[in-house]
Amino acid sequence: MHTLHRSQSADRPHPFAQQANAVTDLMKRPGNKPLNPEFCEQIGQVVVVVCSPRSGSSLLASIFRRTDQLLTFQGAITPFLGLANLRYPESGDSDALDESHLPIAQANGLPALLAQDCGTPDELHTPESLDRFIIDLSIRLSMQWPELRFDPDQVGAATRAALEQLYSERGWPRGRFLDLPLFHAVFLRQLRHTYPGVNPYLYDLDKALIHEIIPDAIPTNLLPSERFIEMPPFILIRPWRAPSADDLARKPLIIKTVANTFRLPFLKALFPNARFRILHLTRSVAASANGMYDGYLFPGFWAARVDQPLSIPGYSDRFPQWGGEWLKFGLIPGWRRWTDKPLEQVCANHWRTCHQTILDWLDSHPEIRTDALRLKFEDLLGSPAQKAEAYARLTDWLGIELDESLTYARDNDLPLQLATAKPAPERWRQRYDIIAPLLEDPRNRRLMERLGYRAGGAPPLHRKIEDTSDNRW
Protein backbone atom coordinates (compact mmCIF):
# COMPACT_ATOMS: atom_id res chain seq x y z
CA MET A 1 0.00 0.00 0.00
CA HIS A 2 1.24 3.46 -0.83
CA THR A 3 1.52 6.01 1.91
CA LEU A 4 -0.11 9.30 1.15
CA HIS A 5 2.19 12.11 0.15
CA ARG A 6 1.33 15.44 -1.38
CA SER A 7 3.85 14.89 -4.16
CA GLN A 8 1.69 12.10 -5.60
CA SER A 9 -0.90 14.67 -6.70
CA ALA A 10 0.96 17.90 -7.20
CA ASP A 11 -2.14 19.64 -8.53
CA ARG A 12 -4.22 18.39 -5.59
CA PRO A 13 -2.67 19.41 -2.24
CA HIS A 14 -3.53 16.79 0.36
CA PRO A 15 -4.87 18.40 3.58
CA PHE A 16 -4.94 15.07 5.44
CA ALA A 17 -1.59 13.61 4.36
CA GLN A 18 -0.27 13.46 7.93
CA GLN A 19 -3.40 11.79 9.26
CA ALA A 20 -3.47 9.38 6.32
CA ASN A 21 0.05 8.25 7.06
CA ALA A 22 -0.87 7.83 10.74
CA VAL A 23 -3.79 5.59 9.73
CA THR A 24 -1.46 3.60 7.47
CA ASP A 25 0.87 3.07 10.44
CA LEU A 26 -2.05 1.83 12.53
CA MET A 27 -3.04 -0.60 9.80
CA LYS A 28 0.48 -2.04 9.86
CA ARG A 29 0.33 -2.73 13.60
CA PRO A 30 0.79 -6.30 14.85
CA GLY A 31 -2.62 -7.81 15.50
CA ASN A 32 -4.26 -6.24 12.48
CA LYS A 33 -5.16 -8.26 9.42
CA PRO A 34 -2.71 -8.06 6.48
CA LEU A 35 -3.01 -5.02 4.25
CA ASN A 36 -4.94 -5.78 1.08
CA PRO A 37 -4.23 -3.34 -1.76
CA GLU A 38 -5.93 -5.80 -4.16
CA PHE A 39 -9.23 -5.62 -2.28
CA CYS A 40 -11.27 -3.95 -5.01
CA GLU A 41 -10.19 -6.44 -7.67
CA GLN A 42 -11.21 -9.34 -5.39
CA ILE A 43 -14.81 -8.20 -4.86
CA GLY A 44 -17.28 -10.30 -6.85
CA GLN A 45 -20.45 -8.28 -6.31
CA VAL A 46 -21.09 -4.65 -5.36
CA VAL A 47 -24.46 -3.24 -4.29
CA VAL A 48 -24.50 0.56 -4.18
CA VAL A 49 -27.36 2.06 -2.16
CA VAL A 50 -28.26 5.37 -3.81
CA CYS A 51 -30.83 7.87 -2.59
CA SER A 52 -31.31 11.43 -1.45
CA PRO A 53 -30.33 12.55 2.07
CA ARG A 54 -32.69 11.69 4.94
CA SER A 55 -34.20 8.79 3.05
CA GLY A 56 -33.39 5.96 5.42
CA SER A 57 -30.06 4.76 4.07
CA SER A 58 -28.46 4.73 7.53
CA LEU A 59 -31.30 2.59 8.88
CA LEU A 60 -31.08 0.28 5.89
CA ALA A 61 -27.32 -0.04 6.35
CA SER A 62 -27.82 -0.90 10.02
CA ILE A 63 -30.18 -3.69 8.90
CA PHE A 64 -27.56 -5.01 6.49
CA ARG A 65 -24.88 -4.94 9.21
CA ARG A 66 -26.90 -7.36 11.32
CA THR A 67 -26.30 -10.34 9.03
CA ASP A 68 -23.10 -12.13 8.09
CA GLN A 69 -24.51 -12.95 4.65
CA LEU A 70 -23.37 -9.55 3.39
CA LEU A 71 -20.16 -7.55 3.49
CA THR A 72 -20.55 -4.00 4.74
CA PHE A 73 -18.53 -1.09 6.03
CA GLN A 74 -18.86 0.28 9.56
CA GLY A 75 -20.11 3.58 8.15
CA ALA A 76 -19.98 5.80 5.10
CA ILE A 77 -16.87 5.62 2.95
CA THR A 78 -16.53 9.43 2.90
CA PRO A 79 -13.73 9.60 5.53
CA PHE A 80 -11.65 7.13 3.53
CA LEU A 81 -12.14 9.24 0.42
CA GLY A 82 -10.83 12.15 2.45
CA LEU A 83 -7.75 10.16 3.45
CA ALA A 84 -7.24 9.33 -0.24
CA ASN A 85 -7.52 13.03 -1.21
CA LEU A 86 -10.80 12.56 -3.04
CA ARG A 87 -12.89 15.21 -1.34
CA TYR A 88 -13.95 18.75 -2.26
CA PRO A 89 -12.17 20.95 -3.21
CA GLU A 90 -9.15 18.78 -4.02
CA SER A 91 -11.19 16.35 -6.14
CA GLY A 92 -13.33 18.93 -7.93
CA ASP A 93 -16.26 21.29 -7.42
CA SER A 94 -18.76 18.77 -6.01
CA ASP A 95 -19.01 15.25 -4.62
CA ALA A 96 -18.95 13.84 -8.14
CA LEU A 97 -16.16 11.38 -8.98
CA ASP A 98 -15.58 9.52 -12.23
CA GLU A 99 -13.05 7.25 -13.89
CA SER A 100 -10.47 10.04 -14.03
CA HIS A 101 -10.15 9.90 -10.23
CA LEU A 102 -9.18 6.23 -10.21
CA PRO A 103 -5.37 6.75 -10.47
CA ILE A 104 -5.44 9.05 -7.43
CA ALA A 105 -7.51 6.53 -5.48
CA GLN A 106 -5.06 3.75 -6.28
CA ALA A 107 -1.95 5.85 -5.67
CA ASN A 108 -3.28 7.00 -2.31
CA GLY A 109 -4.21 3.54 -1.11
CA LEU A 110 -8.00 3.73 -1.13
CA PRO A 111 -8.46 -0.03 -1.78
CA ALA A 112 -6.51 -0.97 1.36
CA LEU A 113 -8.37 1.64 3.41
CA LEU A 114 -11.70 0.17 2.30
CA ALA A 115 -10.43 -3.35 2.98
CA GLN A 116 -9.64 -2.34 6.56
CA ASP A 117 -13.25 -1.32 7.20
CA CYS A 118 -14.97 -4.14 5.30
CA GLY A 119 -16.37 -7.14 7.14
CA THR A 120 -19.20 -8.68 9.10
CA PRO A 121 -20.33 -8.42 12.75
CA ASP A 122 -18.10 -10.17 15.28
CA GLU A 123 -17.86 -10.86 18.99
CA LEU A 124 -14.78 -10.66 21.22
CA HIS A 125 -14.24 -14.32 22.04
CA THR A 126 -10.57 -14.37 21.00
CA PRO A 127 -7.54 -12.16 21.71
CA GLU A 128 -7.21 -11.63 17.96
CA SER A 129 -10.73 -10.21 17.65
CA LEU A 130 -10.05 -7.82 20.54
CA ASP A 131 -6.74 -6.69 19.00
CA ARG A 132 -8.46 -6.00 15.71
CA PHE A 133 -11.25 -4.05 17.45
CA ILE A 134 -8.69 -1.88 19.24
CA ILE A 135 -6.98 -1.04 15.95
CA ASP A 136 -10.34 -0.25 14.33
CA LEU A 137 -11.20 2.05 17.25
CA SER A 138 -7.82 3.77 16.95
CA ILE A 139 -8.31 4.36 13.23
CA ARG A 140 -11.83 5.67 13.70
CA LEU A 141 -10.72 8.01 16.50
CA SER A 142 -7.94 9.31 14.26
CA MET A 143 -10.53 10.33 11.66
CA GLN A 144 -12.90 11.81 14.23
CA TRP A 145 -10.23 13.75 16.14
CA PRO A 146 -7.42 14.28 13.59
CA GLU A 147 -5.65 16.87 15.74
CA LEU A 148 -4.95 14.16 18.34
CA ARG A 149 -2.48 11.32 17.95
CA PHE A 150 -4.01 8.20 19.46
CA ASP A 151 -1.70 5.62 20.97
CA PRO A 152 -3.21 2.17 20.33
CA ASP A 153 -1.90 0.99 23.69
CA GLN A 154 -3.87 3.73 25.44
CA VAL A 155 -6.94 2.98 23.31
CA GLY A 156 -6.51 -0.70 24.17
CA ALA A 157 -6.32 0.05 27.88
CA ALA A 158 -9.54 2.09 27.69
CA THR A 159 -11.24 -0.66 25.67
CA ARG A 160 -10.29 -3.41 28.11
CA ALA A 161 -11.32 -1.31 31.12
CA ALA A 162 -14.69 -0.55 29.53
CA LEU A 163 -15.32 -4.20 28.70
CA GLU A 164 -14.37 -5.35 32.20
CA GLN A 165 -16.83 -2.87 33.64
CA LEU A 166 -19.58 -4.10 31.32
CA TYR A 167 -18.82 -7.73 32.23
CA SER A 168 -18.79 -7.07 35.98
CA GLU A 169 -21.44 -4.36 36.38
CA ARG A 170 -23.82 -4.80 33.45
CA GLY A 171 -23.93 -8.58 33.23
CA TRP A 172 -22.42 -8.92 29.77
CA PRO A 173 -21.24 -12.50 29.16
CA ARG A 174 -17.48 -12.41 28.70
CA GLY A 175 -16.59 -12.14 25.04
CA ARG A 176 -20.05 -10.95 23.96
CA PHE A 177 -20.77 -7.50 22.55
CA LEU A 178 -24.36 -6.65 23.41
CA ASP A 179 -25.00 -2.91 23.31
CA LEU A 180 -23.23 -0.58 20.90
CA PRO A 181 -24.22 2.78 22.47
CA LEU A 182 -23.56 1.56 26.02
CA PHE A 183 -20.10 0.29 25.10
CA HIS A 184 -19.16 3.59 23.50
CA ALA A 185 -20.41 5.63 26.43
CA VAL A 186 -18.35 3.55 28.89
CA PHE A 187 -15.37 3.43 26.50
CA LEU A 188 -15.36 7.21 25.96
CA ARG A 189 -15.48 7.77 29.72
CA GLN A 190 -12.35 5.63 30.08
CA LEU A 191 -10.66 7.23 27.08
CA ARG A 192 -11.19 10.75 28.43
CA HIS A 193 -8.79 10.01 31.28
CA THR A 194 -6.00 10.14 28.70
CA TYR A 195 -7.66 12.26 26.00
CA PRO A 196 -9.88 14.80 27.79
CA GLY A 197 -10.52 16.66 24.54
CA VAL A 198 -12.68 13.81 23.24
CA ASN A 199 -16.24 15.05 23.72
CA PRO A 200 -18.96 12.37 23.79
CA TYR A 201 -21.63 14.88 22.79
CA LEU A 202 -20.28 14.83 19.24
CA TYR A 203 -21.17 11.14 18.90
CA ASP A 204 -24.41 9.53 17.75
CA LEU A 205 -25.33 8.88 21.38
CA ASP A 206 -28.43 9.70 23.37
CA LYS A 207 -27.75 12.70 25.58
CA ALA A 208 -29.42 11.01 28.56
CA LEU A 209 -27.00 8.09 28.26
CA ILE A 210 -24.03 10.45 28.11
CA HIS A 211 -25.26 12.30 31.19
CA GLU A 212 -25.69 9.00 33.05
CA ILE A 213 -22.31 7.49 32.15
CA ILE A 214 -20.14 10.60 31.72
CA PRO A 215 -21.70 13.23 33.98
CA ASP A 216 -18.60 15.45 33.87
CA ALA A 217 -18.80 15.86 30.09
CA ILE A 218 -19.92 19.33 29.07
CA PRO A 219 -22.61 19.46 26.37
CA THR A 220 -21.30 21.36 23.40
CA ASN A 221 -22.14 22.05 19.82
CA LEU A 222 -18.72 22.25 18.25
CA LEU A 223 -18.44 24.57 15.29
CA PRO A 224 -17.79 22.88 11.96
CA SER A 225 -14.16 22.60 10.99
CA GLU A 226 -12.22 21.59 7.91
CA ARG A 227 -9.93 19.62 10.20
CA PHE A 228 -12.54 16.87 10.60
CA ILE A 229 -12.11 13.84 8.38
CA GLU A 230 -15.34 12.30 9.65
CA MET A 231 -17.97 14.96 10.29
CA PRO A 232 -20.11 14.89 13.45
CA PRO A 233 -22.29 13.28 14.61
CA PHE A 234 -19.62 10.57 14.82
CA ILE A 235 -20.63 6.97 14.18
CA LEU A 236 -20.28 4.09 16.64
CA ILE A 237 -18.39 0.98 15.56
CA ARG A 238 -18.46 -2.61 16.80
CA PRO A 239 -16.15 -5.64 16.59
CA TRP A 240 -15.73 -6.56 12.96
CA ARG A 241 -14.67 -9.85 11.37
CA ALA A 242 -12.35 -9.64 8.38
CA PRO A 243 -13.71 -11.35 5.26
CA SER A 244 -12.09 -14.42 3.79
CA ALA A 245 -11.09 -14.68 0.13
CA ASP A 246 -14.27 -16.68 -0.45
CA ASP A 247 -16.34 -13.96 1.24
CA LEU A 248 -14.85 -11.31 -1.04
CA ALA A 249 -15.65 -13.31 -4.14
CA ARG A 250 -19.10 -14.53 -3.12
CA LYS A 251 -20.87 -12.16 -0.72
CA PRO A 252 -22.43 -8.90 -1.92
CA LEU A 253 -20.55 -5.82 -0.71
CA ILE A 254 -22.98 -3.09 0.36
CA ILE A 255 -21.79 0.50 -0.11
CA LYS A 256 -23.96 3.12 1.55
CA THR A 257 -23.04 6.78 1.19
CA VAL A 258 -25.62 9.23 -0.13
CA ALA A 259 -23.05 11.18 -2.16
CA ASN A 260 -22.23 7.98 -4.06
CA THR A 261 -25.21 8.96 -6.20
CA PHE A 262 -22.69 11.19 -7.98
CA ARG A 263 -19.83 8.68 -7.91
CA LEU A 264 -21.29 5.75 -9.82
CA PRO A 265 -18.81 5.97 -12.74
CA PHE A 266 -15.94 6.04 -10.25
CA LEU A 267 -17.22 3.12 -8.18
CA LYS A 268 -17.88 1.00 -11.23
CA ALA A 269 -14.26 1.55 -12.32
CA LEU A 270 -12.95 0.99 -8.78
CA PHE A 271 -14.43 -2.54 -8.66
CA PRO A 272 -13.52 -3.78 -12.15
CA ASN A 273 -14.41 -7.45 -11.65
CA ALA A 274 -17.64 -7.06 -9.70
CA ARG A 275 -21.22 -7.53 -10.72
CA PHE A 276 -22.30 -3.92 -10.22
CA ARG A 277 -25.84 -3.49 -8.87
CA ILE A 278 -27.95 -0.50 -7.79
CA LEU A 279 -30.40 -0.41 -4.88
CA HIS A 280 -32.41 2.77 -5.43
CA LEU A 281 -33.94 3.81 -2.10
CA THR A 282 -36.69 6.41 -2.43
CA ARG A 283 -38.66 8.66 -0.12
CA SER A 284 -41.21 11.35 -0.90
CA VAL A 285 -39.93 14.85 -1.54
CA ALA A 286 -41.91 16.14 1.44
CA ALA A 287 -40.40 13.69 3.92
CA SER A 288 -36.87 13.88 2.54
CA ALA A 289 -36.81 17.67 2.25
CA ASN A 290 -38.29 17.98 5.74
CA GLY A 291 -35.55 15.72 7.09
CA MET A 292 -32.89 17.83 5.41
CA TYR A 293 -34.57 20.96 6.77
CA ASP A 294 -34.28 19.45 10.26
CA GLY A 295 -30.63 18.68 9.59
CA TYR A 296 -29.85 22.22 8.53
CA LEU A 297 -31.25 23.40 11.87
CA PHE A 298 -29.21 20.78 13.76
CA PRO A 299 -25.58 21.36 14.81
CA GLY A 300 -24.15 18.64 12.60
CA PHE A 301 -24.25 17.03 9.15
CA TRP A 302 -21.85 19.59 7.71
CA ALA A 303 -20.44 18.52 4.35
CA ALA A 304 -18.01 21.20 3.24
CA ARG A 305 -16.92 24.76 3.71
CA VAL A 306 -17.52 26.27 0.29
CA ASP A 307 -15.75 29.12 -1.46
CA GLN A 308 -18.96 30.91 -2.47
CA PRO A 309 -20.82 32.90 0.21
CA LEU A 310 -24.15 31.43 1.25
CA SER A 311 -27.23 33.55 1.84
CA ILE A 312 -29.87 30.86 2.24
CA PRO A 313 -32.97 32.28 4.01
CA GLY A 314 -33.84 30.14 6.99
CA TYR A 315 -30.25 28.92 7.40
CA SER A 316 -27.56 31.50 6.73
CA ASP A 317 -29.43 34.21 8.62
CA ARG A 318 -30.27 31.86 11.50
CA PHE A 319 -26.77 30.45 12.02
CA PRO A 320 -24.27 33.21 11.27
CA GLN A 321 -21.47 31.15 12.87
CA TRP A 322 -21.50 28.72 9.96
CA GLY A 323 -24.51 29.37 7.76
CA GLY A 324 -22.62 31.66 5.41
CA GLU A 325 -19.92 29.12 4.55
CA TRP A 326 -20.98 25.53 5.27
CA LEU A 327 -23.33 23.39 3.18
CA LYS A 328 -24.78 20.18 4.58
CA PHE A 329 -25.47 16.66 3.32
CA GLY A 330 -22.97 16.86 0.48
CA LEU A 331 -22.18 18.98 -2.55
CA ILE A 332 -24.42 18.20 -5.50
CA PRO A 333 -23.44 19.23 -9.02
CA GLY A 334 -24.82 22.70 -9.64
CA TRP A 335 -24.92 23.66 -5.96
CA ARG A 336 -23.62 27.16 -6.74
CA ARG A 337 -26.94 28.10 -8.37
CA TRP A 338 -28.77 27.51 -5.08
CA THR A 339 -26.71 29.49 -2.58
CA ASP A 340 -29.35 32.22 -2.19
CA LYS A 341 -32.58 30.22 -2.44
CA PRO A 342 -34.92 29.52 0.53
CA LEU A 343 -33.87 26.55 2.62
CA GLU A 344 -36.82 24.37 1.64
CA GLN A 345 -36.02 24.95 -2.03
CA VAL A 346 -32.38 24.03 -1.44
CA CYS A 347 -33.54 20.79 0.18
CA ALA A 348 -36.03 19.98 -2.58
CA ASN A 349 -33.42 20.63 -5.26
CA HIS A 350 -31.02 18.29 -3.45
CA TRP A 351 -33.70 15.58 -3.45
CA ARG A 352 -34.51 16.20 -7.10
CA THR A 353 -30.89 16.25 -8.26
CA CYS A 354 -30.11 12.98 -6.50
CA HIS A 355 -32.99 11.01 -7.96
CA GLN A 356 -32.73 12.51 -11.44
CA THR A 357 -29.03 11.65 -11.49
CA ILE A 358 -29.80 8.06 -10.48
CA LEU A 359 -32.50 7.65 -13.11
CA ASP A 360 -30.36 9.21 -15.84
CA TRP A 361 -27.40 6.98 -15.02
CA LEU A 362 -29.54 3.86 -15.03
CA ASP A 363 -31.09 4.90 -18.35
CA SER A 364 -27.60 5.14 -19.81
CA HIS A 365 -26.70 1.68 -18.45
CA PRO A 366 -29.69 -0.52 -19.38
CA GLU A 367 -27.88 -3.73 -18.44
CA ILE A 368 -27.54 -2.40 -14.87
CA ARG A 369 -31.03 -0.87 -14.83
CA THR A 370 -32.65 -4.24 -15.50
CA ASP A 371 -30.71 -5.70 -12.55
CA ALA A 372 -31.56 -2.84 -10.16
CA LEU A 373 -34.05 -2.72 -7.29
CA ARG A 374 -36.14 0.29 -6.30
CA LEU A 375 -37.34 0.25 -2.69
CA LYS A 376 -39.50 2.80 -0.87
CA PHE A 377 -38.28 3.76 2.59
CA GLU A 378 -41.93 4.20 3.54
CA ASP A 379 -42.40 0.45 3.09
CA LEU A 380 -39.61 -0.31 5.58
CA LEU A 381 -41.53 1.70 8.19
CA GLY A 382 -45.05 0.71 7.18
CA SER A 383 -47.55 -1.88 8.30
CA PRO A 384 -46.41 -5.44 9.10
CA ALA A 385 -47.62 -6.52 5.67
CA GLN A 386 -45.69 -3.73 3.96
CA LYS A 387 -42.54 -4.55 5.87
CA ALA A 388 -42.87 -8.26 5.16
CA GLU A 389 -43.19 -7.61 1.44
CA ALA A 390 -40.27 -5.15 1.45
CA TYR A 391 -37.97 -7.56 3.27
CA ALA A 392 -39.01 -10.41 0.98
CA ARG A 393 -38.23 -8.35 -2.12
CA LEU A 394 -34.93 -7.20 -0.66
CA THR A 395 -33.63 -10.59 0.40
CA ASP A 396 -34.78 -12.23 -2.81
CA TRP A 397 -33.00 -9.60 -4.89
CA LEU A 398 -29.81 -9.91 -2.83
CA GLY A 399 -29.95 -13.70 -2.99
CA ILE A 400 -29.79 -14.14 0.79
CA GLU A 401 -31.95 -15.81 3.44
CA LEU A 402 -34.28 -13.97 5.79
CA ASP A 403 -32.20 -15.14 8.73
CA GLU A 404 -32.81 -14.59 12.43
CA SER A 405 -31.06 -11.21 12.51
CA LEU A 406 -33.02 -9.86 9.54
CA THR A 407 -36.28 -11.26 10.89
CA TYR A 408 -35.63 -9.41 14.14
CA ALA A 409 -34.98 -6.20 12.21
CA ARG A 410 -38.23 -6.66 10.29
CA ASP A 411 -40.35 -7.30 13.37
CA ASN A 412 -38.85 -4.74 15.78
CA ASP A 413 -38.05 -1.05 15.92
CA LEU A 414 -34.30 -0.66 15.52
CA PRO A 415 -32.23 2.07 17.17
CA LEU A 416 -32.17 5.27 15.16
CA GLN A 417 -29.05 5.98 13.12
CA LEU A 418 -27.84 9.58 12.71
CA ALA A 419 -31.41 10.89 13.08
CA THR A 420 -32.65 14.21 14.40
CA ALA A 421 -36.13 12.80 15.13
CA LYS A 422 -37.90 9.47 14.99
CA PRO A 423 -39.34 8.77 11.53
CA ALA A 424 -43.13 8.96 11.46
CA PRO A 425 -45.74 8.95 8.71
CA GLU A 426 -46.03 12.45 7.23
CA ARG A 427 -44.07 14.13 10.00
CA TRP A 428 -43.45 16.91 7.50
CA ARG A 429 -46.95 18.23 8.28
CA GLN A 430 -45.51 19.83 11.41
CA ARG A 431 -43.90 22.22 8.90
CA TYR A 432 -46.89 22.19 6.56
CA ASP A 433 -46.82 25.76 5.26
CA ILE A 434 -43.17 25.43 4.29
CA ILE A 435 -43.11 21.90 2.88
CA ALA A 436 -46.55 21.49 1.28
CA PRO A 437 -45.80 23.88 -1.62
CA LEU A 438 -42.99 21.55 -2.67
CA LEU A 439 -45.63 18.98 -3.59
CA GLU A 440 -47.17 21.42 -6.06
CA ASP A 441 -43.89 22.10 -7.87
CA PRO A 442 -44.27 20.45 -11.31
CA ARG A 443 -40.64 19.32 -11.25
CA ASN A 444 -41.19 17.46 -8.01
CA ARG A 445 -44.57 16.07 -9.07
CA ARG A 446 -43.18 14.60 -12.28
CA LEU A 447 -40.28 12.99 -10.48
CA MET A 448 -42.49 11.66 -7.68
CA GLU A 449 -44.73 9.99 -10.26
CA ARG A 450 -41.73 8.47 -12.01
CA LEU A 451 -40.55 7.08 -8.66
CA GLY A 452 -43.90 5.36 -8.17
CA TYR A 453 -45.67 7.70 -5.74
CA ARG A 454 -49.38 8.29 -6.31
CA ALA A 455 -50.60 11.87 -6.45
CA GLY A 456 -53.14 11.95 -3.66
CA GLY A 457 -53.30 15.61 -2.86
CA ALA A 458 -52.36 17.21 0.42
CA PRO A 459 -54.94 16.67 3.19
CA PRO A 460 -55.34 19.37 5.81
CA LEU A 461 -52.78 19.45 8.56
CA HIS A 462 -55.27 18.38 11.22
CA ARG A 463 -56.21 15.21 9.35
CA LYS A 464 -54.68 12.22 11.08
CA ILE A 465 -52.85 9.86 8.76
CA GLU A 466 -53.07 6.32 10.12
CA ASP A 467 -51.58 4.42 7.21
CA THR A 468 -49.17 5.10 4.37
CA SER A 469 -49.67 1.82 2.57
CA ASP A 470 -50.68 3.57 -0.65
CA ASN A 471 -47.50 5.69 -0.62
CA ARG A 472 -49.64 8.77 -1.11
CA TRP A 473 -47.92 12.13 -1.25
Domain that includes residue 255, residue range: 245-450
Q: Which of 188, 206, 241 is the last residue of a domain?
A: 241
> What pLDDT band is residue 362 in, cutting at 50, 70 and 90?
very high
Q: In terms of domains, do 285 and 374 share one?
A: yes
Residue (of 204, 261, 282, 270) closest to 237 by Cα position: 204
End-to-end CA distance of the chain: 49
Q: In terms of domains, do 249 and 387 share one?
A: yes
Domain membership of residue 369 (yes or no) is: yes
Q: In terms of domains, do 325 and 222 share one?
A: no
The predicted-structure confidence for 75-121, as pLDDT tens digits, reads as follows 999 999 999 999 999 999 999 999 999 999 999 999 999 999 999 99
- Torsion-angle region of 334 (φ positive above 0: left; ψ -120 to 50: alpha; else: beta): left
Q: In terms of domains, do 198 and 281 share one?
A: no
What pLDDT is recorded for position 13?
Answer: 72
What pLDDT is recorded for position 423?
Answer: 63
* Nearest-10 crossing angle of helices 127-144, 110-117: 120
Q: In terms of domains, do 213 and 347 share one?
A: no
Domain membership of residue 186 (yes or no) is: yes
Residues 78, 257 contacting (CB under 8 angstroms): yes
Domain membership of residue 435 (yes or no) is: yes
Domain membership of residue 209 (yes or no) is: yes
Q: In terms of domains, do 178 and 151 share one?
A: yes
Q: Which of 181, 213, 241 is the last residue of a domain?
A: 241
Q: In terms of domains, do 298 and 174 share one?
A: no
Sheet with 118-121, strands from edge to edge, namely 72-73, 118-121, 240-241
Domain membership of residue 227 (yes or no) is: yes
What pLDDT is recorded for position 440?
Answer: 95
DSSP 3-state of 281 = strand
Backbone angles phi, psi at 382, to 5 degrees: -85, -155
Exposure letters 439-454 (e unless 16+ CB within 10 A, then b) = bebeebbebbeebebe
Q: Structural domain tally of the chain?
A: 2
Dihedral (CA of 168, 156, 76, 232) sign: positive
Domain membership of residue 47 (yes or no) is: no
Q: In terms of domains, do 144 and 252 share one?
A: no
Residue (of 4, 245, 27, 36) closest to 105 by Cα position: 4
**pLDDT beyond 80 at 417:** no
| Residue at 446: amino acid letter | R
Mean pLDDT over residues 214-241, rounded? 88
What pLDDT is recorded for position 266?
Answer: 99
Q: In terms of domains, do 79 and 159 share one?
A: yes
What pLDDT is recorded for position 269?
Answer: 99
Backbone angles phi, psi at 409, to 5 degrees: -60, -40
Q: In terms of domains, do 169 and 278 share one?
A: no
Average model confidence (pLDDT) for the chain? 91
Q: In terms of domains, do 143 and 288 share one?
A: no
What pLDDT is recorded for position 425?
Answer: 64
Residues 434, 427 contacting (CB under 8 angstroms): no
The predicted-structure confidence for 64-75, as pLDDT tens digits, reads as follows 999 999 999 999
**pLDDT beyond 90 at 233:** no
**pLDDT beyond 90 at 447:** yes
Q: Which of 241, 273, 294 is the last residue of a domain?
A: 241
What pLDDT is recorded for position 416?
Answer: 57
pTM as predicted: 0.91
What pLDDT is recorded for position 11?
Answer: 56
Residue (of 443, 221, 445) closest to 353 by Cα position: 443
**pLDDT beyond 70 at 393:** yes
**pLDDT beyond 50 at 5:** no
| Residue at 393: amino acid letter | R
**pLDDT beyond 50 at 1:** no
Domain membership of residue 78 (yes or no) is: yes
Q: In terms of domains, do 82 and 166 share one?
A: yes
Domain membership of residue 471 (yes or no) is: no
